[in-house]
Amino acid sequence: MTKVHPNVAAAPATGPTEEKLKSSAHLEADAVVLTVWKKSLLFNCNGFTVFDSKGNLVYRVDNYMGGSGANGEIILMDAGGKPLLTIRRKRLSLADNWLVYDGETAVNPRFSVRKNVNILNTKCLAHMSSTSNSKNKLMYEIEGSYAQRSCAVYDEKRRRVAELKQKEAVGGVAFGVDVFRLIVGPKIDTSDAMAIIILLDQMFGSSRRF
Protein backbone atom coordinates (compact mmCIF):
# COMPACT_ATOMS: atom_id res chain seq x y z
CA MET A 1 0.00 0.00 0.00
CA THR A 2 1.21 3.52 -0.72
CA LYS A 3 2.67 5.09 2.40
CA VAL A 4 0.08 7.37 4.00
CA HIS A 5 2.50 9.53 6.00
CA PRO A 6 6.12 9.06 7.16
CA ASN A 7 6.37 10.52 10.65
CA VAL A 8 4.30 8.27 12.93
CA ALA A 9 7.22 7.39 15.20
CA ALA A 10 8.08 11.04 15.80
CA ALA A 11 4.52 12.16 16.50
CA PRO A 12 4.14 14.95 19.09
CA ALA A 13 1.23 15.13 21.53
CA THR A 14 0.08 18.47 20.14
CA GLY A 15 -2.67 19.83 17.97
CA PRO A 16 -2.68 19.76 14.18
CA THR A 17 -0.19 21.78 12.17
CA GLU A 18 -1.91 24.29 9.91
CA GLU A 19 -1.43 24.13 6.15
CA LYS A 20 -2.27 26.94 3.73
CA LEU A 21 -5.19 25.65 1.73
CA LYS A 22 -5.37 26.62 -1.93
CA SER A 23 -7.48 23.75 -3.30
CA SER A 24 -10.80 24.81 -1.77
CA ALA A 25 -12.38 28.16 -2.54
CA HIS A 26 -15.08 27.54 0.08
CA LEU A 27 -12.84 27.69 3.14
CA GLU A 28 -10.44 30.24 4.51
CA ALA A 29 -6.79 30.10 3.42
CA ASP A 30 -5.70 29.16 6.96
CA ALA A 31 -7.77 25.95 7.09
CA VAL A 32 -6.16 22.86 8.60
CA VAL A 33 -5.70 19.89 6.25
CA LEU A 34 -5.65 16.47 7.94
CA THR A 35 -5.14 13.04 6.42
CA VAL A 36 -7.50 10.48 7.95
CA TRP A 37 -6.63 6.79 7.72
CA LYS A 38 -9.34 4.35 8.75
CA LYS A 39 -6.90 2.07 10.53
CA SER A 40 -5.75 1.72 14.12
CA LEU A 41 -2.07 1.77 15.05
CA LEU A 42 -2.75 -1.19 17.35
CA PHE A 43 -2.64 -4.74 16.04
CA ASN A 44 -5.95 -6.52 15.51
CA CYS A 45 -8.00 -3.42 16.32
CA ASN A 46 -10.10 -1.14 14.16
CA GLY A 47 -9.95 2.62 14.46
CA PHE A 48 -8.70 5.85 12.91
CA THR A 49 -5.24 7.38 12.60
CA VAL A 50 -5.00 11.07 11.70
CA PHE A 51 -1.96 13.01 10.46
CA ASP A 52 -1.33 16.70 9.92
CA SER A 53 0.19 18.18 6.75
CA LYS A 54 3.74 17.46 7.97
CA GLY A 55 3.00 13.78 8.56
CA ASN A 56 2.79 14.04 12.35
CA LEU A 57 0.25 11.95 14.22
CA VAL A 58 -2.37 14.20 15.84
CA TYR A 59 -5.46 12.03 16.55
CA ARG A 60 -6.14 8.34 17.01
CA VAL A 61 -9.03 5.99 17.75
CA ASP A 62 -8.00 2.52 18.86
CA ASN A 63 -11.12 1.05 20.46
CA TYR A 64 -13.32 1.11 17.38
CA MET A 65 -14.59 -2.48 17.34
CA GLY A 66 -17.87 -4.11 16.39
CA GLY A 67 -19.24 -0.80 15.19
CA SER A 68 -19.42 0.87 18.61
CA GLY A 69 -16.16 0.35 20.46
CA ALA A 70 -14.95 -2.41 22.75
CA ASN A 71 -16.81 -0.94 25.72
CA GLY A 72 -19.82 0.44 23.90
CA GLU A 73 -18.17 3.79 23.32
CA ILE A 74 -15.68 5.42 20.97
CA ILE A 75 -12.82 7.54 22.33
CA LEU A 76 -10.97 10.14 20.27
CA MET A 77 -7.42 10.58 21.61
CA ASP A 78 -4.53 12.89 20.86
CA ALA A 79 -1.17 11.57 19.63
CA GLY A 80 -0.06 10.74 23.18
CA GLY A 81 -3.18 8.71 23.95
CA LYS A 82 -4.96 11.37 26.05
CA PRO A 83 -8.77 11.08 25.70
CA LEU A 84 -10.21 14.21 24.08
CA LEU A 85 -13.79 13.18 23.33
CA THR A 86 -15.95 10.19 24.23
CA ILE A 87 -18.78 9.28 21.86
CA ARG A 88 -21.74 7.25 23.12
CA ARG A 89 -24.93 6.21 21.38
CA LYS A 90 -27.98 7.73 23.03
CA ARG A 91 -30.01 5.06 24.77
CA LEU A 92 -33.67 4.46 23.99
CA SER A 93 -33.32 6.36 20.73
CA LEU A 94 -35.22 5.10 17.69
CA ALA A 95 -32.87 6.86 15.26
CA ASP A 96 -29.08 7.14 15.12
CA ASN A 97 -28.56 9.68 17.88
CA TRP A 98 -25.18 10.11 19.58
CA LEU A 99 -23.82 12.16 22.48
CA VAL A 100 -20.28 13.54 22.58
CA TYR A 101 -18.56 14.25 25.91
CA ASP A 102 -15.33 15.96 26.93
CA GLY A 103 -12.54 13.56 27.85
CA GLU A 104 -13.88 10.38 29.43
CA THR A 105 -16.76 12.00 31.29
CA ALA A 106 -20.27 10.57 31.18
CA VAL A 107 -22.22 13.67 32.23
CA ASN A 108 -23.08 16.97 30.57
CA PRO A 109 -22.46 16.13 26.91
CA ARG A 110 -20.99 18.88 24.75
CA PHE A 111 -23.24 18.18 21.79
CA SER A 112 -25.36 15.56 20.07
CA VAL A 113 -25.21 14.25 16.50
CA ARG A 114 -28.35 12.87 14.89
CA LYS A 115 -28.77 11.07 11.58
CA ASN A 116 -31.10 12.89 9.20
CA VAL A 117 -34.48 11.17 8.86
CA ASN A 118 -36.20 13.81 6.74
CA ILE A 119 -36.81 12.15 3.37
CA LEU A 120 -37.56 15.55 1.84
CA ASN A 121 -33.97 16.67 2.47
CA THR A 122 -31.94 13.90 0.86
CA LYS A 123 -28.73 15.97 0.69
CA CYS A 124 -28.46 16.18 4.48
CA LEU A 125 -26.69 13.32 6.27
CA ALA A 126 -26.74 14.44 9.89
CA HIS A 127 -27.07 17.36 12.31
CA MET A 128 -24.84 18.40 15.20
CA SER A 129 -26.58 20.30 17.99
CA SER A 130 -25.38 21.93 21.19
CA THR A 131 -26.77 20.38 24.38
CA SER A 132 -25.93 23.27 26.71
CA ASN A 133 -28.68 24.69 28.90
CA SER A 134 -30.99 21.80 27.94
CA LYS A 135 -31.52 23.38 24.52
CA ASN A 136 -30.70 21.54 21.31
CA LYS A 137 -29.40 24.44 19.26
CA LEU A 138 -28.30 23.51 15.74
CA MET A 139 -24.54 23.97 15.32
CA TYR A 140 -23.68 22.18 12.08
CA GLU A 141 -25.37 20.34 9.23
CA ILE A 142 -23.51 17.72 7.19
CA GLU A 143 -24.32 17.16 3.52
CA GLY A 144 -22.94 15.00 0.72
CA SER A 145 -21.93 11.35 0.38
CA TYR A 146 -19.78 9.64 2.99
CA ALA A 147 -19.48 6.51 0.81
CA GLN A 148 -17.77 8.67 -1.84
CA ARG A 149 -15.84 10.61 0.82
CA SER A 150 -17.35 13.87 -0.40
CA CYS A 151 -19.05 15.82 2.37
CA ALA A 152 -19.38 19.41 3.55
CA VAL A 153 -20.13 20.77 7.03
CA TYR A 154 -22.20 23.96 7.27
CA ASP A 155 -22.84 26.13 10.32
CA GLU A 156 -26.18 27.65 11.28
CA LYS A 157 -25.58 30.53 8.83
CA ARG A 158 -24.91 28.09 5.95
CA ARG A 159 -21.22 28.87 5.89
CA ARG A 160 -19.06 25.93 4.86
CA VAL A 161 -16.72 25.27 7.79
CA ALA A 162 -15.24 21.86 6.92
CA GLU A 163 -14.95 19.42 4.03
CA LEU A 164 -14.26 15.73 3.53
CA LYS A 165 -12.53 14.78 0.28
CA GLN A 166 -10.84 11.79 -1.29
CA LYS A 167 -7.05 11.88 -1.04
CA GLU A 168 -5.30 12.37 -4.34
CA ALA A 169 -3.43 9.45 -5.87
CA VAL A 170 0.36 9.46 -5.48
CA GLY A 171 2.50 8.18 -8.33
CA GLY A 172 -0.56 6.82 -10.06
CA VAL A 173 -1.48 4.69 -7.02
CA ALA A 174 -4.88 5.42 -5.46
CA PHE A 175 -5.41 5.21 -1.71
CA GLY A 176 -9.03 3.98 -1.78
CA VAL A 177 -11.82 5.12 0.52
CA ASP A 178 -9.98 4.28 3.76
CA VAL A 179 -7.59 7.23 3.32
CA PHE A 180 -9.07 10.69 2.84
CA ARG A 181 -8.62 14.37 3.61
CA LEU A 182 -10.42 16.35 6.30
CA ILE A 183 -10.21 20.09 5.66
CA VAL A 184 -11.16 22.15 8.72
CA GLY A 185 -11.74 25.90 8.73
CA PRO A 186 -11.14 28.09 11.81
CA LYS A 187 -14.85 28.24 12.74
CA ILE A 188 -14.93 24.62 13.94
CA ASP A 189 -12.58 22.75 16.25
CA THR A 190 -10.63 19.96 14.55
CA SER A 191 -11.56 17.45 17.27
CA ASP A 192 -15.25 18.25 16.75
CA ALA A 193 -14.79 17.73 13.02
CA MET A 194 -13.19 14.36 13.74
CA ALA A 195 -16.16 13.41 15.92
CA ILE A 196 -18.38 14.11 12.92
CA ILE A 197 -16.23 11.85 10.73
CA ILE A 198 -16.35 9.02 13.27
CA LEU A 199 -20.13 9.25 13.48
CA LEU A 200 -20.59 9.46 9.72
CA ASP A 201 -18.71 6.18 9.57
CA GLN A 202 -21.03 4.75 12.21
CA MET A 203 -24.11 5.88 10.31
CA PHE A 204 -23.08 5.31 6.70
CA GLY A 205 -19.78 3.40 6.62
CA SER A 206 -18.80 -0.25 6.55
CA SER A 207 -18.58 -0.28 10.35
CA ARG A 208 -22.27 0.57 10.70
CA ARG A 209 -23.85 -1.67 13.31
CA PHE A 210 -27.35 -0.36 13.91
pLDDT of 117-135, one tens digit each? Answer: 887 778 899 999 998 766 6
Q: Are 116 and 124 in contact (CB under 8 A)?
A: yes
| Confidence at residue 118, expressed as pLDDT on a 0 to 100 scale | 82
Q: Which are the contacts of 142, defined by CB distance < 8 A and separation ≥ 6?
A: 124, 125, 126, 127, 128, 151, 152, 153, 154, 196, 200
What is the percent of the chain where pLDDT is above 90? 52
For residue 10, pLDDT beyond 80: no
Kind plus residue range of the DSSP H or E element containing 32: strand 32-37
Find the mean pLDDT for residues 146-153: 95
Distance CA 106, CA 72 (A): 12
Q: Are 164 and 151 in contact (CB under 8 A)?
A: yes
For residue 169, pLDDT beyond 70: no
Distance CA 47, CA 62 (A): 5
Structural domain 24-204, CATH architecture:
Beta Barrel (2.40)
pLDDT in tens, 16-36: 544 433 345 456 568 999 999
Q: Where are the domains of the chain?
A: 24-204
Lowest mean pLDDT among 101-115, 125-139, 165-179, 193-207: 165-179
For residue 184, pLDDT beyond 80: yes
pLDDT in tens, 40-92: 877 667 789 999 999 999 999 987 544 444 456 899 999 999 999 999 988 77
Find the mean pLDDT for residues 107-124: 88
pLDDT in tens, 134-144: 667 889 999 99
Note the residue count of the chain. 210
> Could you tell me how many helices (H) and strands (E) the chain has, helices first?
1, 12
| Confidence at residue 96, expressed as pLDDT on a 0 to 100 scale | 83
| Confidence at residue 171, expressed as pLDDT on a 0 to 100 scale | 62
| Confidence at residue 42, expressed as pLDDT on a 0 to 100 scale | 76
| Confidence at residue 19, expressed as pLDDT on a 0 to 100 scale | 41
| Confidence at residue 62, expressed as pLDDT on a 0 to 100 scale | 87
| Confidence at residue 182, expressed as pLDDT on a 0 to 100 scale | 96
Distance CA 46, CA 39 (A): 6
